[in-house]
Amino acid sequence: MGPRLTGDETALWLAAARVLDANWTGAATVPSPGLYPHQWSWDSAFIGLGLAHHRPDRARTEFLSLFRGQWATGLLPHIVFHTTEPRHAYFPGPELWRSSAHPAAPRGVQTSALAQPPLHALVALRMVQASDGADRAFLGPLYPCLVAQHAYLARDRDIGGGGLASLCHPWESGLDDSPAWDTPLAAVDPRGRTYNGGDHDRYVALVTGMRAAGYRAEYLRDEHPFVVEDPLFNAVYLASTHALAELADLAGADPRPHREAAERIHRALLDRLWDESAGCFRARDLRAGRLIPETTVAGFVPLMDPELPAPVVRALTDLLLSPRFAGAAGYPVPTCDIQSEAFDRGAYWRGPTWANTNWLLWFGACAHDLGGIADLIFGSTARLVRQSGFREFYDPFDGSGRGGHDYSWSAALLLDLLA
Ligand code: 9WN
Protein backbone atom coordinates (compact mmCIF):
# COMPACT_ATOMS: atom_id res chain seq x y z
CA MET A 1 0.00 0.00 0.00
CA GLY A 2 1.40 3.42 -0.98
CA PRO A 3 0.00 6.56 0.62
CA ARG A 4 -0.49 7.53 4.28
CA LEU A 5 -4.15 6.93 5.12
CA THR A 6 -6.47 7.22 8.11
CA GLY A 7 -7.88 4.00 9.57
CA ASP A 8 -11.15 4.44 7.73
CA GLU A 9 -9.36 5.16 4.45
CA THR A 10 -7.17 2.11 4.95
CA ALA A 11 -10.28 -0.08 5.24
CA LEU A 12 -11.66 1.45 2.01
CA TRP A 13 -8.33 0.96 0.26
CA LEU A 14 -8.19 -2.72 1.25
CA ALA A 15 -11.80 -3.28 0.15
CA ALA A 16 -11.09 -1.67 -3.23
CA ALA A 17 -7.96 -3.76 -3.69
CA ARG A 18 -9.98 -6.91 -2.92
CA VAL A 19 -12.47 -6.06 -5.68
CA LEU A 20 -9.67 -5.57 -8.20
CA ASP A 21 -8.01 -8.83 -7.12
CA ALA A 22 -11.29 -10.75 -7.42
CA ASN A 23 -12.02 -9.33 -10.89
CA TRP A 24 -8.52 -10.10 -12.22
CA THR A 25 -8.60 -12.93 -14.78
CA GLY A 26 -4.84 -13.40 -15.10
CA ALA A 27 -4.65 -11.19 -18.20
CA ALA A 28 -7.11 -8.37 -17.57
CA THR A 29 -9.83 -7.15 -15.22
CA VAL A 30 -13.51 -7.71 -15.95
CA PRO A 31 -15.61 -4.56 -15.38
CA SER A 32 -18.01 -6.46 -13.14
CA PRO A 33 -18.24 -10.17 -12.34
CA GLY A 34 -21.06 -11.87 -14.24
CA LEU A 35 -22.43 -8.73 -15.84
CA TYR A 36 -19.52 -7.84 -18.14
CA PRO A 37 -17.26 -10.87 -18.70
CA HIS A 38 -14.85 -9.34 -21.26
CA GLN A 39 -12.42 -6.42 -21.41
CA TRP A 40 -13.71 -2.91 -22.14
CA SER A 41 -11.40 -0.20 -23.40
CA TRP A 42 -12.13 2.76 -21.16
CA ASP A 43 -12.79 0.49 -18.17
CA SER A 44 -9.24 -0.84 -18.60
CA ALA A 45 -7.92 2.71 -18.63
CA PHE A 46 -9.70 3.57 -15.36
CA ILE A 47 -8.69 0.23 -13.88
CA GLY A 48 -5.08 0.93 -14.90
CA LEU A 49 -5.16 4.08 -12.77
CA GLY A 50 -6.03 2.02 -9.72
CA LEU A 51 -3.75 -0.91 -10.48
CA ALA A 52 -0.83 1.49 -10.86
CA HIS A 53 -1.05 2.06 -7.09
CA HIS A 54 -1.91 -1.52 -6.11
CA ARG A 55 -0.32 -3.91 -8.64
CA PRO A 56 1.71 -2.00 -11.29
CA ASP A 57 2.68 -5.31 -12.92
CA ARG A 58 -1.00 -6.03 -13.53
CA ALA A 59 -1.59 -2.51 -14.83
CA ARG A 60 0.98 -3.21 -17.54
CA THR A 61 -0.52 -6.63 -18.35
CA GLU A 62 -4.00 -5.06 -18.48
CA PHE A 63 -2.83 -2.59 -21.13
CA LEU A 64 -0.93 -5.19 -23.15
CA SER A 65 -4.05 -7.42 -23.22
CA LEU A 66 -6.17 -4.53 -24.40
CA PHE A 67 -3.77 -3.46 -27.13
CA ARG A 68 -3.64 -7.04 -28.44
CA GLY A 69 -7.07 -6.13 -29.80
CA GLN A 70 -5.87 -3.07 -31.73
CA TRP A 71 -6.67 -3.05 -35.45
CA ALA A 72 -4.13 -2.29 -38.22
CA THR A 73 -6.03 0.98 -38.77
CA GLY A 74 -5.10 1.99 -35.21
CA LEU A 75 -8.66 1.54 -33.91
CA LEU A 76 -8.54 0.41 -30.29
CA PRO A 77 -11.81 -1.52 -30.01
CA HIS A 78 -14.15 -0.90 -27.13
CA ILE A 79 -14.46 -4.62 -26.32
CA VAL A 80 -11.78 -7.31 -26.46
CA PHE A 81 -13.52 -10.66 -26.01
CA HIS A 82 -11.82 -13.00 -23.59
CA THR A 83 -14.14 -15.95 -23.22
CA THR A 84 -16.53 -17.93 -25.37
CA GLU A 85 -18.02 -19.93 -22.52
CA PRO A 86 -21.83 -19.90 -22.85
CA ARG A 87 -22.24 -19.23 -19.13
CA HIS A 88 -20.48 -15.91 -19.80
CA ALA A 89 -22.83 -14.97 -22.64
CA TYR A 90 -22.91 -11.21 -23.20
CA PHE A 91 -24.91 -9.60 -25.94
CA PRO A 92 -23.67 -8.38 -28.31
CA GLY A 93 -20.86 -10.94 -28.51
CA PRO A 94 -18.27 -11.49 -31.26
CA GLU A 95 -20.98 -12.71 -33.69
CA LEU A 96 -22.30 -9.18 -34.12
CA TRP A 97 -18.94 -7.66 -35.05
CA ARG A 98 -17.37 -10.57 -37.02
CA SER A 99 -13.96 -9.00 -36.56
CA SER A 100 -12.18 -12.22 -37.61
CA ALA A 101 -13.52 -11.72 -41.13
CA HIS A 102 -11.98 -8.24 -41.42
CA PRO A 103 -8.48 -7.91 -42.88
CA ALA A 104 -7.50 -5.04 -40.54
CA ALA A 105 -8.61 -6.79 -37.34
CA PRO A 106 -6.04 -8.64 -35.20
CA ARG A 107 -5.65 -12.41 -35.51
CA GLY A 108 -6.19 -14.71 -32.56
CA VAL A 109 -8.50 -12.41 -30.65
CA GLN A 110 -12.05 -11.26 -31.33
CA THR A 111 -13.07 -7.65 -30.82
CA SER A 112 -15.77 -5.07 -31.41
CA ALA A 113 -15.22 -2.39 -34.05
CA LEU A 114 -16.02 0.80 -32.12
CA ALA A 115 -13.87 3.18 -30.10
CA GLN A 116 -14.38 4.45 -26.54
CA PRO A 117 -13.02 7.60 -24.86
CA PRO A 118 -9.23 7.42 -25.45
CA LEU A 119 -7.96 7.87 -21.91
CA HIS A 120 -5.09 5.43 -22.40
CA ALA A 121 -2.18 7.80 -23.08
CA LEU A 122 -3.08 9.83 -20.00
CA VAL A 123 -3.16 6.66 -17.89
CA ALA A 124 0.09 5.38 -19.42
CA LEU A 125 1.76 8.66 -18.44
CA ARG A 126 0.48 8.39 -14.89
CA MET A 127 1.62 4.76 -14.73
CA VAL A 128 5.11 5.79 -15.79
CA GLN A 129 5.15 8.72 -13.34
CA ALA A 130 3.97 6.50 -10.46
CA SER A 131 6.45 3.74 -11.19
CA ASP A 132 9.92 2.94 -10.02
CA GLY A 133 11.16 2.81 -13.61
CA ALA A 134 9.78 -0.58 -14.68
CA ASP A 135 7.15 1.17 -16.80
CA ARG A 136 9.81 2.88 -18.91
CA ALA A 137 10.62 -0.45 -20.57
CA PHE A 138 6.94 -1.04 -21.13
CA LEU A 139 6.63 2.35 -22.81
CA GLY A 140 8.81 1.21 -25.76
CA PRO A 141 6.21 -1.15 -27.28
CA LEU A 142 3.20 0.81 -25.95
CA TYR A 143 4.10 4.26 -27.31
CA PRO A 144 3.64 3.42 -31.04
CA CYS A 145 0.28 1.77 -30.23
CA LEU A 146 -0.92 4.94 -28.51
CA VAL A 147 0.28 7.03 -31.46
CA ALA A 148 -1.63 4.72 -33.83
CA GLN A 149 -4.77 4.98 -31.66
CA HIS A 150 -4.66 8.78 -31.92
CA ALA A 151 -3.75 8.74 -35.63
CA TYR A 152 -6.86 6.63 -36.32
CA LEU A 153 -9.07 9.19 -34.59
CA ALA A 154 -7.48 12.10 -36.48
CA ARG A 155 -7.56 10.34 -39.86
CA ASP A 156 -10.81 8.36 -39.86
CA ARG A 157 -12.95 10.11 -37.28
CA ASP A 158 -12.53 13.82 -37.95
CA ILE A 159 -15.74 13.59 -39.94
CA GLY A 160 -16.68 17.22 -39.26
CA GLY A 161 -13.28 18.35 -40.55
CA GLY A 162 -12.79 20.75 -37.63
CA GLY A 163 -10.27 18.75 -35.56
CA LEU A 164 -12.59 16.74 -33.29
CA ALA A 165 -13.19 12.98 -33.33
CA SER A 166 -16.76 11.92 -34.12
CA LEU A 167 -18.69 9.13 -32.48
CA CYS A 168 -20.57 6.75 -34.75
CA HIS A 169 -22.45 4.89 -32.02
CA PRO A 170 -23.74 5.77 -28.53
CA TRP A 171 -21.56 2.93 -27.16
CA GLU A 172 -18.50 4.93 -28.23
CA SER A 173 -19.41 7.70 -25.80
CA GLY A 174 -19.19 5.38 -22.77
CA LEU A 175 -22.47 7.03 -21.66
CA ASP A 176 -24.65 4.69 -23.73
CA ASP A 177 -28.17 5.94 -23.05
CA SER A 178 -27.33 9.57 -22.29
CA PRO A 179 -30.34 11.79 -23.11
CA ALA A 180 -27.99 13.62 -25.49
CA TRP A 181 -28.33 10.67 -27.91
CA ASP A 182 -32.14 10.50 -27.90
CA THR A 183 -32.67 12.79 -30.90
CA PRO A 184 -29.84 11.61 -33.18
CA LEU A 185 -30.74 8.00 -32.34
CA ALA A 186 -34.43 8.52 -33.12
CA ALA A 187 -33.38 9.41 -36.67
CA VAL A 188 -31.82 5.95 -37.14
CA ASP A 189 -33.94 3.34 -38.93
CA PRO A 190 -34.06 0.25 -36.69
CA ARG A 191 -34.87 -1.88 -39.80
CA GLY A 192 -37.51 -3.94 -38.07
CA ARG A 193 -35.12 -5.71 -35.74
CA THR A 194 -36.44 -6.92 -32.44
CA TYR A 195 -33.57 -7.78 -30.15
CA ASN A 196 -34.61 -6.01 -27.01
CA GLY A 197 -36.87 -3.43 -28.56
CA GLY A 198 -36.48 0.37 -28.54
CA ASP A 199 -33.00 1.82 -28.66
CA HIS A 200 -31.38 -1.60 -28.69
CA ASP A 201 -32.66 -2.25 -32.21
CA ARG A 202 -31.10 0.99 -33.32
CA TYR A 203 -27.81 0.14 -31.57
CA VAL A 204 -27.70 -3.13 -33.49
CA ALA A 205 -28.81 -1.54 -36.77
CA LEU A 206 -25.95 0.97 -36.52
CA VAL A 207 -23.45 -1.86 -36.11
CA THR A 208 -24.83 -4.00 -38.94
CA GLY A 209 -24.72 -0.94 -41.23
CA MET A 210 -21.06 -0.35 -40.37
CA ARG A 211 -20.24 -4.03 -40.72
CA ALA A 212 -21.93 -4.32 -44.13
CA ALA A 213 -19.76 -1.40 -45.29
CA GLY A 214 -16.61 -3.21 -44.10
CA TYR A 215 -16.17 -0.62 -41.30
CA ARG A 216 -14.81 1.74 -43.99
CA ALA A 217 -14.03 5.33 -43.04
CA GLU A 218 -15.70 6.59 -46.23
CA TYR A 219 -18.98 4.96 -45.23
CA LEU A 220 -18.82 6.57 -41.78
CA ARG A 221 -18.07 9.94 -43.35
CA ASP A 222 -20.65 9.89 -46.16
CA GLU A 223 -23.51 7.57 -45.22
CA HIS A 224 -23.60 6.44 -41.61
CA PRO A 225 -26.70 7.96 -39.92
CA PHE A 226 -25.32 8.59 -36.40
CA VAL A 227 -22.36 10.99 -36.27
CA VAL A 228 -21.85 13.25 -33.27
CA GLU A 229 -19.00 15.21 -31.69
CA ASP A 230 -19.06 14.71 -27.94
CA PRO A 231 -17.40 17.01 -25.37
CA LEU A 232 -16.45 14.15 -23.01
CA PHE A 233 -14.80 12.02 -25.71
CA ASN A 234 -12.94 14.98 -27.15
CA ALA A 235 -11.85 16.40 -23.80
CA VAL A 236 -10.38 13.00 -22.95
CA TYR A 237 -8.80 12.86 -26.43
CA LEU A 238 -7.22 16.27 -25.74
CA ALA A 239 -5.92 15.32 -22.28
CA SER A 240 -4.42 12.15 -23.75
CA THR A 241 -2.87 14.10 -26.63
CA HIS A 242 -1.08 16.33 -24.09
CA ALA A 243 0.04 13.16 -22.31
CA LEU A 244 1.27 11.73 -25.61
CA ALA A 245 3.56 14.74 -26.04
CA GLU A 246 5.07 14.02 -22.61
CA LEU A 247 5.36 10.32 -23.39
CA ALA A 248 7.10 11.20 -26.66
CA ASP A 249 9.76 13.06 -24.65
CA LEU A 250 10.20 10.03 -22.39
CA ALA A 251 10.31 7.64 -25.36
CA GLY A 252 12.88 9.77 -27.22
CA ALA A 253 10.37 10.67 -29.94
CA ASP A 254 9.32 14.07 -31.31
CA PRO A 255 6.60 15.64 -29.13
CA ARG A 256 5.81 18.49 -31.57
CA PRO A 257 3.13 16.72 -33.67
CA HIS A 258 1.24 15.91 -30.46
CA ARG A 259 1.49 19.50 -29.22
CA GLU A 260 0.12 20.70 -32.55
CA ALA A 261 -2.69 18.14 -32.41
CA ALA A 262 -3.55 19.28 -28.87
CA GLU A 263 -3.74 22.90 -29.97
CA ARG A 264 -6.13 21.93 -32.78
CA ILE A 265 -8.43 19.90 -30.49
CA HIS A 266 -8.41 22.68 -27.86
CA ARG A 267 -9.55 25.25 -30.45
CA ALA A 268 -12.12 22.93 -31.99
CA LEU A 269 -13.70 22.16 -28.61
CA LEU A 270 -14.31 25.87 -28.08
CA ASP A 271 -15.29 26.67 -31.69
CA ARG A 272 -17.57 23.69 -32.26
CA LEU A 273 -18.99 22.59 -28.88
CA TRP A 274 -19.03 25.61 -26.55
CA ASP A 275 -22.54 27.05 -26.20
CA GLU A 276 -22.00 30.59 -24.98
CA SER A 277 -25.69 31.28 -24.31
CA ALA A 278 -26.10 28.15 -22.16
CA GLY A 279 -22.69 28.43 -20.46
CA CYS A 280 -21.78 24.80 -21.14
CA PHE A 281 -20.37 22.43 -23.73
CA ARG A 282 -22.83 20.40 -25.76
CA ALA A 283 -22.60 17.55 -28.26
CA ARG A 284 -22.90 18.41 -31.96
CA ASP A 285 -25.11 16.30 -34.21
CA LEU A 286 -23.28 16.39 -37.56
CA ARG A 287 -26.17 14.86 -39.51
CA ALA A 288 -28.68 17.43 -38.22
CA GLY A 289 -26.03 20.18 -38.29
CA ARG A 290 -26.70 21.54 -34.79
CA LEU A 291 -25.77 21.41 -31.13
CA ILE A 292 -27.88 18.95 -29.13
CA PRO A 293 -29.83 20.97 -26.51
CA GLU A 294 -29.52 18.38 -23.69
CA THR A 295 -27.15 19.38 -20.85
CA THR A 296 -25.30 16.42 -19.35
CA VAL A 297 -22.25 15.72 -17.21
CA ALA A 298 -20.26 15.27 -20.46
CA GLY A 299 -20.46 19.04 -20.92
CA PHE A 300 -18.19 19.63 -17.89
CA VAL A 301 -15.43 17.22 -18.91
CA PRO A 302 -13.62 19.88 -21.02
CA LEU A 303 -12.43 21.15 -17.61
CA MET A 304 -9.69 18.58 -18.28
CA ASP A 305 -8.30 21.10 -20.79
CA PRO A 306 -5.66 23.06 -18.84
CA GLU A 307 -5.91 25.96 -21.33
CA LEU A 308 -9.63 26.54 -21.06
CA PRO A 309 -10.22 30.34 -20.86
CA ALA A 310 -11.08 31.65 -17.37
CA PRO A 311 -14.62 32.88 -18.30
CA VAL A 312 -15.44 29.41 -19.67
CA VAL A 313 -14.17 27.75 -16.49
CA ARG A 314 -16.26 30.16 -14.42
CA ALA A 315 -19.44 29.50 -16.42
CA LEU A 316 -18.90 25.75 -16.12
CA THR A 317 -18.28 25.80 -12.39
CA ASP A 318 -21.33 28.03 -11.82
CA LEU A 319 -23.52 25.53 -13.64
CA LEU A 320 -21.87 22.54 -11.99
CA LEU A 321 -22.55 23.95 -8.50
CA SER A 322 -26.07 25.12 -9.36
CA PRO A 323 -29.28 23.24 -8.37
CA ARG A 324 -29.26 21.74 -11.87
CA PHE A 325 -26.27 19.55 -10.95
CA ALA A 326 -24.26 19.40 -7.69
CA GLY A 327 -26.36 22.03 -5.89
CA ALA A 328 -29.43 19.81 -5.51
CA ALA A 329 -27.78 16.39 -5.32
CA GLY A 330 -26.72 14.98 -1.96
CA TYR A 331 -24.21 12.83 -3.82
CA PRO A 332 -22.89 14.75 -6.82
CA VAL A 333 -22.36 14.75 -9.74
CA PRO A 334 -25.54 13.51 -11.50
CA THR A 335 -25.10 12.52 -15.14
CA CYS A 336 -27.95 14.69 -16.37
CA ASP A 337 -29.42 18.11 -15.58
CA ILE A 338 -31.81 17.49 -12.66
CA GLN A 339 -34.25 20.00 -14.11
CA SER A 340 -34.37 18.34 -17.53
CA GLU A 341 -37.43 16.29 -18.47
CA ALA A 342 -35.08 13.45 -19.38
CA PHE A 343 -33.59 13.27 -15.85
CA ASP A 344 -34.21 9.95 -14.11
CA ARG A 345 -32.44 9.38 -10.78
CA GLY A 346 -32.29 5.59 -11.16
CA ALA A 347 -31.70 5.15 -14.88
CA TYR A 348 -28.13 4.39 -15.88
CA TRP A 349 -26.60 7.42 -17.68
CA ARG A 350 -29.77 9.51 -17.41
CA GLY A 351 -29.33 10.82 -13.87
CA PRO A 352 -27.30 8.64 -11.45
CA THR A 353 -23.85 9.53 -10.15
CA TRP A 354 -20.95 7.43 -11.46
CA ALA A 355 -17.42 7.08 -10.06
CA ASN A 356 -15.79 7.44 -13.48
CA THR A 357 -17.47 10.68 -14.54
CA ASN A 358 -16.70 11.98 -11.05
CA TRP A 359 -13.03 11.09 -11.55
CA LEU A 360 -12.90 12.97 -14.88
CA LEU A 361 -14.40 16.07 -13.24
CA TRP A 362 -12.08 15.74 -10.24
CA PHE A 363 -9.12 15.62 -12.65
CA GLY A 364 -10.48 18.71 -14.44
CA ALA A 365 -10.99 20.57 -11.15
CA CYS A 366 -7.39 19.78 -10.15
CA ALA A 367 -6.16 21.06 -13.55
CA HIS A 368 -7.64 24.48 -12.70
CA ASP A 369 -6.76 24.54 -8.99
CA LEU A 370 -10.44 24.37 -8.10
CA GLY A 371 -9.74 22.83 -4.70
CA GLY A 372 -13.30 23.25 -3.43
CA ILE A 373 -14.79 21.33 -6.37
CA ALA A 374 -12.09 18.66 -6.27
CA ASP A 375 -12.79 18.12 -2.54
CA LEU A 376 -16.56 18.06 -3.11
CA ILE A 377 -16.21 15.34 -5.75
CA PHE A 378 -13.66 13.34 -3.78
CA GLY A 379 -15.88 13.53 -0.66
CA SER A 380 -19.02 12.53 -2.56
CA THR A 381 -17.33 9.57 -4.24
CA ALA A 382 -15.84 8.31 -0.98
CA ARG A 383 -19.21 8.65 0.80
CA LEU A 384 -20.98 6.73 -1.95
CA VAL A 385 -18.54 3.85 -1.69
CA ARG A 386 -18.57 3.84 2.11
CA GLN A 387 -22.36 3.81 2.20
CA SER A 388 -23.20 1.52 -0.72
CA GLY A 389 -20.05 -0.34 -1.78
CA PHE A 390 -18.37 -0.46 -5.19
CA ARG A 391 -21.53 -0.32 -7.25
CA GLU A 392 -21.89 0.44 -10.96
CA PHE A 393 -23.77 3.71 -10.29
CA TYR A 394 -25.60 5.50 -7.48
CA ASP A 395 -28.78 7.46 -6.80
CA PRO A 396 -27.62 11.11 -6.68
CA PHE A 397 -30.10 12.05 -3.92
CA ASP A 398 -29.81 9.25 -1.36
CA GLY A 399 -26.60 7.54 -2.49
CA SER A 400 -28.13 4.08 -2.78
CA GLY A 401 -26.24 1.71 -5.08
CA ARG A 402 -27.61 0.58 -8.44
CA GLY A 403 -26.59 -1.78 -11.26
CA GLY A 404 -23.67 -4.19 -10.98
CA HIS A 405 -21.82 -5.01 -7.74
CA ASP A 406 -18.06 -5.06 -7.19
CA TYR A 407 -17.57 -2.74 -10.11
CA SER A 408 -13.91 -2.53 -11.06
CA TRP A 409 -13.67 1.12 -12.05
CA SER A 410 -15.44 2.26 -8.87
CA ALA A 411 -12.78 0.36 -6.87
CA ALA A 412 -9.84 1.43 -9.04
CA LEU A 413 -10.76 5.10 -9.07
CA LEU A 414 -11.21 5.16 -5.33
CA LEU A 415 -7.61 3.93 -5.03
CA ASP A 416 -6.46 6.73 -7.31
CA LEU A 417 -8.44 9.35 -5.39
CA LEU A 418 -7.04 8.11 -2.06
CA ALA A 419 -3.49 8.03 -3.42
C1 9WN B 1 -21.75 -1.49 -23.94
C2 9WN B 1 -18.48 -1.90 -19.35
C3 9WN B 1 -19.31 -0.95 -20.20
C4 9WN B 1 -18.85 0.51 -20.03
C5 9WN B 1 -19.83 1.50 -20.63
C6 9WN B 1 -21.22 1.20 -20.08
C7 9WN B 1 -21.60 -0.24 -20.40
C8 9WN B 1 -21.91 -1.66 -22.42
C9 9WN B 1 -23.30 -2.17 -22.09
O10 9WN B 1 -20.67 -1.12 -19.81
O11 9WN B 1 -21.62 -0.39 -21.80
O12 9WN B 1 -20.44 -1.22 -24.28
O13 9WN B 1 -23.49 -3.38 -22.20
O14 9WN B 1 -24.16 -1.35 -21.77
O15 9WN B 1 -22.15 2.09 -20.61
O16 9WN B 1 -19.43 2.82 -20.30
O17 9WN B 1 -17.60 0.68 -20.63
O18 9WN B 1 -18.39 -1.45 -18.03
| Among 201, 285, 305, 392, the one annotated catalytic | 392
Q: Fill in the amino acid letter for 247.
A: L
How confident is the model at residue 193, as a pLDDT?
61
Rounded to whole angstroms, the Cα distance separating 98 from 9 reads: 45
Query: Angle at the Cα of 15 (from 390 to 116), degrees rounded to 5?
Result: 45
Determine how many CB atoms are found less than 10 A away from the CB of residue 5. Answer: 15
pLDDT of residue 87: 59
Ligand 1 atom with minimal separation from the 36 CA? 2
Please give the torsion angle defined by the CA atoms of residues 158, 163, 168 and 169, in that order, rounded to the nearest 10 degrees: 160
- What is the predicted pLDDT for the residue at 86? 63
Q: Is the pLDDT of residue 3 over 80?
A: no
Domain at 7-418: CATH code: 1.50.10.10
pLDDT, residue 17, reads 98
Residue 275 known to be catalytic: no
Residues with Cβ within 8 Å of 234's Cβ and at least 6 positions away in sequence, in order, are 164, 165, 265, 268, 269, 273, 302
Counting ligand 1 atoms within 8 A of each CB, the residue from 35, 176, 233 with the most, and so the one to mutate, is: 176
Residue pLDDT, tens place only, 277-311: 999 999 999 999 999 999 999 999 999 999 999 99
pLDDT for residue 337 is more than 90: yes
User: With 60 as the cut, is the pLDDT of residue 251 above it?
Assistant: yes
Find all residues with CB under 8 Å of 87, minimum gap 6, and list them.
none
Classify residue 270 by its DSSP letter: I
DSSP string, 4-48: ---HHHHHHHHHHHHHHHHTB-SS-B-SBTTTB-SEEHHHHHHHH
Judge whether 218 counts as a catalytic residue: no
| DSSP conformational letter for 277 | T
Cβ–Cβ < 8 Å for 383, 331: yes
Distance 176 CA to ligand 1 centre (A): 7
Atom of ligand 1 nearest to the CA of 404: 18
Position 192 scores a pLDDT of 58
pLDDT band with cut points at 50, 70 and 90 for residue 26? very high
Write down the domain spans for the chain: 7-418
The number of CA neighbours under 13 Å toward the Cβ of 206 is 24
Checking 253-259 for CB contacts under 8 A at 24+ apart, the result is 253/143, 258/150
Q: Is the CB of 263 under 6 A from ligand 1?
A: no
How do residues 391-416 score in pLDDT, each as one tens digit? 999 999 999 999 999 999 999 999 99
Q: What would the DSSP string read from start to end of 163-184?
A: SPPEESSHHHHS-TT-GGGHHH
Q: Is 40 in the pocket of ligand 1 (CB under 6 A)?
A: yes
Percentage of the residues of the chain whose pLDDT score is greater than 90: 89
Ligand 1 center–CA 93 separation, angstroms: 13
Residue 107 has pLDDT above 70, yes or no: yes
pLDDT band at 313 (very low <50, low <70, confident <90, very high): very high
ipTM over 0.90: yes
Q: For 280, list phi and psi in degrees, rounded to 5.
A: -155, 165
- Atom from ligand 1 closest to the CA of residue 32: 18
